[in-house]
Amino acid sequence: MIHVNNIHKSFDGTHILKGVETQFENGKTNLIIGQSGSGKTVFLKCLLGLFMPEEGSISYDGKIYKDLSPDEKRSLRQEMGMVFQGSALFDSMTVSGNVMFPLEMFTKQGKSEMQDRVDTVLKRVNLIDAHHKYPSEISGGMQKRVAIARAIVMNPKYLFCDEPNSGLDPRTSIIIDNLIKEITEEYNITTVINTHDMNSVMQIGEKIIFLKNGLKEWEGSKHEIFKTDNKAVTDFVYSSDLFKKVRQMYIEERN
Amino acid sequence: MNYLASIGSYAIMIKEVFKKPTKWSIMKSLILKEIDELIYGSLGILIFISFFIGGVVAIQTALNITSELIPKNLVGFATRQSIILEFAPTFCSIIMAGKVGSYITSSIGTMRVTEQIDALEVMGVNALNYLVFPKIIALMLYPFIIAIAMYVGIFGGWFAGVFGGFSTSADFIEGVQLDFIPFHITYSFLKTMVFAFVLATIPSYHGFYMKGGALEVGKASTTSFVWTSVVIIIINYILTQLLLG
């Protein structure tokens, strides 16, 4: 479980996060939503330890990040998997090389043992046939799946995804969403996803946090989001006609 | 103040490069890859430039000898001195700041823009050690290509002098051997080692700490070339004063 306690973060005098407080449970897909500039990416980077909050703290299963020694921080980071918005695959390595990278860096496993693990996760994301290809030779959706495979190869406790659906067609987005949700449940990972995609919210959002101007404006489940009267949330979530109709249908069905 | 801040963060970067080393089995392959990219990949252009610059130095020297009192072996002597003392270590390093420096800045800068460096850091990898240390070690072989540039430069001078009719082979070789001071070679290689460190670290600094997108990668490469050249020229002056002055 990740516990976020009143974190503040500023850049060049601009206050980005103004006291965010929440918690993310194991085995659940937690979504952070909000308009561009609401502080979602800064919040995610704070969760990853890439940015240090000026105030407040973040604890991972009771371990407060800021109180850890540099070595303890590095060990904790090895328990984190991250899927970046642009996949962030290493261009000079093949799909297999990218997935094997964390194993080569941090384990003492033999080559065949590592290869077995890589094959297992590549099969899990349905990419075993593309193991010899370079990132530039595969599609955006496949790159995202490689990034997921790389993120889970070390059996992480925490999985973070920054807009995993950006640039993908709706069908591929659903595949990626479902894959993340299945992996979260299968490995009992604490997953935090930063997204703009309302389809993801409706599909996999077990817990949703809505950020506005660096503050947590609302939090709840995908079912609760239909019932909320919070204007900022409804303006954001139901900005398209399609979702307005979906909400209307949901309310009518309930009544 | 900005310059001071940059010098400070450069010093911190250097400290970080030598902290928490990457596993040797991985580092070994990274070093070999960088040797191929930075050293072997630069050999062709440095041989080409050295040959022709050596030839031009010989021709220019010969054309400026108007007095009968000046010995003919001066062509070989001037070519050797120019190539060994300045052209091979300094001029080649400026060329390398353009070739290798911009490659280093743009490759690391692109990794920054595409979040590959963030990916390394999230995994708990010391990104500076992983990216910069192999380049420093690879460029420790830089004096070898400078030695080749010296030989080829002097050969270019001999070729242009003899086949251009500006000097005889005997006069040129006599000039090359005249008043040879072995310390000049030591001085030249000492400079080269310092320049190698500059060539590996300043472009890495500009790539690693860049912000923005593709346009900024281009700007960072240009800035890196300018600063690497400036630092090489300043260090060249200081080392020349200290070692030969």
- Residues of A within 8 A of B124 (CB-CB) are 73-75, 77-78, 106
Given CB atoms, is B65 within the 8 Å cutoff of chain A?
Answer: no
pLDDT, chain B, mean: 94
Average confidence (pLDDT) over A144-167:
90
pTM for the full model? 0.86
CB B171 within 8 Å of CB B76: yes
Return the amino acid letter for B71: P
Minimum mean pLDDT among A105-114, A172-181, A232-241: which range? Answer: A232-241
Question: Is the Cβ pair A75, B114 closer than 8 Å?
Answer: no
CB A53 within 8 Å of CB A17: yes
Minimum mean pLDDT among A97-101, A144-148, A170-174: which range? Answer: A170-174
In angstroms, rounded to a whole number, what is the distance separating the alpha carbons of residues A49 and A66?
Answer: 9
In angstroms, rounded to a whole number, what is the distance separating the alpha carbons of residues A129 and A146?
Answer: 12
Q: What is the pLDDT of residues A198-214, one digit of tens each?
A: 888 878 888 999 999 99
Write down the pLDDT at residue A118.
Answer: 94
Average confidence (pLDDT) over B64-84:
90
Q: How confident is the model at residue A25 (pLDDT cuts 50, 70, 90)?
A: confident
Q: What is the pLDDT of residues B1-31, one digit of tens each?
A: 688 999 999 999 999 999 888 889 899 999 9
Most distant CA pair in chain B, distance: 72
Write down the pLDDT at residue B1.
Answer: 66
- Residues of B within 8 A of A91 (CB-CB) are 116
Q: Where are the domains of chain A?
A: 1-79+157-223, 91-155
pLDDT, chain A, mean: 88
Q: Which of residues 107-136 of B touch A (CB under 8 A)?
A: 114-116, 118-119, 121-125
CB A183 within 8 Å of CB A152: yes
Q: Which of residues 153-192 of B touch A (CB under 8 A)?
A: none
Write down the ipTM of this complex: 0.83
The owner of tokens 């580092």 is B27
Architecture per CATH, A1-79+157-223 = 3-Layer(aba) Sandwich (3.40)
Say yes or no to pLDDT of B208 above 80: yes
| Angle at the Cα of B70 from the Cα atoms of B68 and B71, rounded to 5 degrees | 105
Nearest CA in chain B to A70: B124
Write down the pLDDT at residue A251.
Answer: 73
- Residues of B within 8 A of A90 (CB-CB) are 116, 119
Q: How far is A253 from chain B (nearest CA, A)?
A: 44
Q: What is the pLDDT of residues A117-132, one digit of tens each?
A: 999 999 988 888 999 9
Q: Where are the domains of chain B?
A: 23-244
Question: Is the Cβ pair B115, A84 closer than 8 Å?
Answer: yes
Given CB atoms, is A50 within the 8 Å cutoff of chain B?
Answer: yes
Return the amino acid letter for A250: Y
Average confidence (pLDDT) over A156-180:
86
Q: How confident is the model at residue B70 (pLDDT cuts 50, 70, 90)?
A: confident
Average confidence (pLDDT) over B205-228:
94
